[in-house]
Amino acid sequence: MVSYKKITTLSFVLFFYSFEASSEPYKHINTNISSSWVQTTKTLPMWVQNGSESQMWVQEGDQNLLTGLFEGLLTNNKDMSSIVVDISEQRLYLLKNNRIIRSFPISSSKYGEGSIQNSFKTPLGMHVIKDKIGYNAPKNTIFKSRINTNRPAEIIESPLDTENDHVTSRILWLDGTEYGKNKGKGIDSYDRYIYIHGTHEEGLIGTKASHGCIRMFNDDVINLFSEVKEGTYVLIKA
C-alpha cells in the first residue's frame, strides 16, 4: 500500500503548543486547526483520496502514525478515542490510537454549515464532548431539553422530513474549542445545544436534514456513546 503524507506543519505546531500549554482535561484554542487531522484506513475516505485541503497524513500497516512532536497531538492518552465528522461524506469516523476503527452514516444540517446563533446550521471546527446524556435509556427514547420523557419515538424509515426534530436514545453534547469560530458570544456550540444524537427520521440519514446537530441511527449512536468519554475530541469538517 502506498503511503500518502501531507501536513500543514505550522498548523500542527500551533495546535500542539496550545495543548501543551495547559493541564486542563481539554483546552480552548485560538488557532484554526480544523484543516489538520490524522487518519488511516484500507478504504480511504474521500477527504484522503481527493487530496483535499484537509491536509492529512495517511499511513499503512501497524506503524505508529505519530511520533516525536506529533505524539499525543489529539489526546495525551493513546487509549482515548477521537471523532471526525465529515459533512461532505455525511459520515462520522471513530478513531483510536489515530486509526479509524468505526465509521457511521450521519445527517448534518439541511441549512448548511455555520456557527451563528439561531441559524440552525452545523458548526465546523474542533469540539469536545462536554456531556453524555441518556445512560441506559431504552433505544428510541425521546429526550426533550435533555430530559428523558420515557416515551419511545415512532421511527420513520422512509426519507420523510417531518415537523418534529426528536432527539432520541443518546446525547453527546458538544462544546466548541475555537474562540471566534465555535466558541464565544453568538457562535457558541454548547450554548446552541449542538449534539450528536439519535433521530426518529432514520430514513434521512446520509443526507443533510438536521436542524444543526449531527443525527445518527439509534443503534449507531448507542454504540458510539459506549465507545467515547466526556472530553473526547470531535472535529467537524466540511
8 A C-beta contact, residue 107 and residue 197: no
Q: In this predicted model, what pLDDT tens digit does every residue of 183-227 receive, in sequence order?
A: 999 999 999 999 999 999 999 999 999 999 999 999 999 999 999
How many residues are given for the chain?
A: 238
Q: What integer pLDDT is reported at residue 182 of this predicted model?
A: 97
CA distance 217 to 169: 9
Q: What integer pLDDT is reported at residue 199 of this predicted model?
A: 98
**What does the block give as the cell for 32?**
484554526
Compute how many other C-beta atoms are within 10 angstroms of the C-beta atom of residue 19.
19
Q: What integer pLDDT is reported at residue 17 of this predicted model?
A: 35
Higher pLDDT, 192 or 45: 192
Q: In this predicted model, what pLDDT tens digit does every residue of 52-83 receive, in sequence order?
A: 323 332 232 233 333 332 234 454 456 789 99
Q: What integer pLDDT is reported at residue 32 of this predicted model?
A: 37
**pLDDT confidence band for 38 (50 / 70 / 90):** very low
Q: In this predicted model, what pLDDT tens digit does every residue of 166-184 receive, in sequence order?
A: 999 999 999 999 999 999 9
Q: From the CA atom positions of the chain, what is the Rg in Å?
A: 17
**Average pLDDT in the 39-54 region?**
40
Q: What integer pLDDT is reported at residue 97 of this predicted model?
A: 81
Q: Which fold has domain 4-233?
A: L,D-transpeptidase catalytic domain-like (2.40.440)
The partner residues of 128 in beta bridges, in order of sequence, read 175, 233
3-state DSSP helix/strand/coil percent for the chain, to nearest 5?
15, 30, 55
Where along the chain do its domains lie? 4-233
CA distance 161 to 156: 9
Beta strands in 87-213 (DSSP E): 91-96, 99-107, 125-133, 141-144, 147-152, 167-176, 195-198
CA distance 127 to 189: 8
Higher pLDDT, 6 or 90: 90
CA angle (77, 171, 175) in 5-degree steps: 55
**What does the block give as the cell for 117?**
446563533
Instruction: Kindly report the pTM of this predicted structure.
Output: 0.73
Q: What integer pLDDT is reported at residue 79 of this predicted model?
A: 72
**pLDDT confidence band for 228 (50 / 70 / 90):** very high
- Is residue 35 scored above 50 in pLDDT? no
8 A C-beta contact, residue 200 and residue 153: yes
